[in-house]
Chain A
């Protein structure tokens, strides 16, 4: 992801969004306007049997600077009130914060309009499809964000939909996005979907049997999210400061804030 934000192919070594190209004066100075930046940060979503957790760190960066230690990337969508108390959907956006904010505002207005016209809240499935068309609507001047939408599906089961910047999407069990996605995703594969885990004492080669997949309970998922971020904070300089989690259940959306290392 970070690579696509870079203007200089030379900097694709370390996976940072800021420009490390040497700024030596050579020849005529070229001027240009580049409409995108990267504000760093990471998001993570995991769905359970009857809940969905969407989390994001609250740091906003530009280059080596921190803009603020508290800029949420996770938003409630489509409630009837300003406080969004009765919202049922959560959107997370990471990448270019201005585009992320614009996307959130637009989706929120659309979901509110849907409720007005249909007299009921929008389903995650419908909202997921709509979000895809919004993103693709700017196919040739994209929203530079990786979006994740979460909620409960028609059967009350947790649902997570992940997107690329131009609207390609799929429903998944879990997904990490943003600066530390490459650090978190393998951890999730292993701990949520039990990838590369086998039944103990069963032997080698063809005798190996995969560990049985069971849906994780909520408290364990919360712990996974916290561990994933604590780990990412250690290894990526754009992640830190605070962790904002939204937990969607049939009773509404719960917000949990946990401090992260500020270094």
Chain B
């Protein structure tokens, strides 16, 4: 009948070796609006589609700046993302305080991975219902990581999570080879183009529903970094207009059949 015998808590395996509570948490990620991340040799960008509950309400925040050298985009339960981003903020501050150094991205992402994993192992706890894309720069250059409620984390070249994100991923896969050498502006353009792919028919990108986060290195291998900056509202107009008027911007590439 239903799978209901083995999905009451996150400490019970099903006979097939699955933990249904964790899989349900992954469903929560798919309910969230889409976010896209791309990384090149010099920059990492996050692009997010914000949603408003109703016409009169504000748009839910999707991109959060964590520290000078990194930020994240979320899909799923925003309150769970706040818990995780607070934790990340504290970890990166304490790294700077005790070691006088910016925390390496991989360490930070693993630490939230460990936290999420713990929640799938103890009775009474529940998995986080949020997926994250973490973009940043550390001593080894720009990085993009994906985080899932199961505790799984992995480094990506480009990634999209959230509702209808498959369309965005298809775009990213088709343009994959362009990303490595792309500059900052180009990367944002690709991000927004990917976002546009996964929009519902009657929707379009506007300054209200877009968020862009950018972080990068100033020069190749240089220590000086371009600090993570979140662009919202009118600050994204330049890019939104660019992508809105025609997606065949020079390299054209991707065709959209209606």
Complex contacts, A82 vs chain B, CB 8 Å: 68, 96, 102
B68 contacts A81, C-beta separation under 8 Å? yes
Cα distance, A13 to B68, chains bound together (Å): 50
* A112 contacts B by Cβ under 8 Å: yes
**Is the CB of A134 closer than 8 A to any CB of chain B?**
no
Residues from chain B with Cβ under 8 Å of A113 in the complex: 89, 93
B68: min CB distance to chain A, Å: 5
Residue-wise interface mask of B (68-111) relative to A, using a CB-CB cutoff of 8 A (1 in contact, 0 not): 10000000000000000000010001001100001000000000
Set A81, A105, A109: member contacting B227, Cβ < 8 A: A81
Q: A81–B102 Cα gap in the complex (Å)? A: 10
Interface contact A105-B89, CB-CB below 8 Å: no
Q: Which residues of A contact B68 (CB under 8 A)?
A: 80-82
Proximity bits, A161-202, B CB within 8 Å = 1, else 0: 000000000000000000000000000000000000000000
How many residues belonging to B are interface residues under a CB distance threshold of 8 Å?
8
Beta-carbon contact of B93 and A105 below 8 Å: no
| CA A82 to CA B67, docked complex, whole Å | 10
Q: How far is the CA of A235 from the CA of B6 in the complex (A)?
A: 81
- Check: A116 CB closer than 8 A to any chain B CB: yes
- The complex places the Cα of A105 from the Cα of B100 at a distance, in Å, of 10
Complex CA gap A81/B96 in Å reads: 11
Annotate A65-105 by CB proximity to B: 1 below 8 A, 0 otherwise.
Answer: 00000000000000011100000000000000000000001
Expressed in whole angstroms, the Cα–Cα distance for A8 and B93 within the complex equals 40
Q: Which residue of A lies closest to B61 (CB)?
A: A119
Closest to B89 in A: A116
A110: min CB distance to chain B, Å? 10
Kindly report which residue of chain B lies nearest to residue A106, judged by CB atoms.
B97
In residues 20-50 of chain A, which contact B (Cβ within 8 Å)?
Answer: none
A116: which B residues are within 8 A, CB to CB? 65, 89
How many Å lie between the Cα of A176 and that of B68 in the bound state? 34
Expressed in whole angstroms, the minimum distance between the Cβ of A112 and any Cβ of chain B is: 6
- Assuming A80-B68, A80-B227, A82-B102, is B89 touching A109 (CB within 8 A)? no
Complex Cα distance, B91 from A109, in Å, reads 12
Give the residues in chain B near A81, CB-CB below 8 Å. Answer: 68, 227
Q: CB distance B102 to A109 under 8 Å?
A: no
Instruction: Provide the B192-216 mask, 1 if CB < 8 A to any CB of A, else 0.
Output: 0000000000000000000000000
Distance A112 CA – B68 CA, assembled complex (angstroms): 11
Taking CB as reference atom, which chain A residue is nearest B94? A109
Which chain A residues numbered 108 to 131 have a C-beta less than 8 Å away from chain B? 109, 112-113, 116
In the complex, what distance in Å separates the CA atom of A112 from the CA atom of B65?
12
Q: Please, which residue of chain B has its CB at the minimum distance from the CB of A105? A: B97
CB neighbours of B227 from chain A (8 A)? 80-81
Q: Which residue of A lies closest to B98 (CB)?
A: A105
**Shortest beta-carbon distance from A4 to chain B in Å:** 28
Alpha-carbon distance A218/B65, docked complex (angstroms): 36
In the assembly, what is the distance between CA of A112 and CA of B97, in Å?
A: 12
Of chain A, the residue at the smallest CB distance from B224 is A83
In the bound complex, how far is the Cα of B65 from the Cα of A113, in angstroms?
12
CB distance from B139 to the nearest CB of A (A): 13
A82 to B69: give the CA distance in the assembly, Å: 9
Which of A82, A109, A112 has its CB near the most chain B CB atoms (within 10 A)?
Answer: A82
Do A112 and B93 touch (CB < 8 A)? Answer: yes
Q: Which residue of A lies closest to B228 (CB)?
A: A80
- CB closest residue in chain B, given A82: B68
**Least CB separation from A116: chain B residue:** B89
**Shortest Cβ distance from A234 into chain B, in angstroms?**
36
In the assembled complex, the Cα of A80 lies from the Cα of B71 at a distance in Å of 13
Known pairs A82-B96, A105-B97, A109-B93; list 4 more (Cβ under 8 Å).
Answer: A80-B68, A81-B227, A109-B97, A116-B89
A→B interface (CB under 8 Å): 80-82, 105, 109, 112-113, 116
In the A-B complex, the 3 residue pairs with the closest CB atoms: A81-B68, A81-B227, A109-B93
14 pairs of residues in contact across A and B, judged by CB atoms under 8 Å = A80-B65, A80-B68, A80-B227, A81-B68, A81-B227, A82-B96, A105-B97, A109-B93, A109-B97, A112-B93, A113-B89, A113-B93, A116-B65, A116-B89
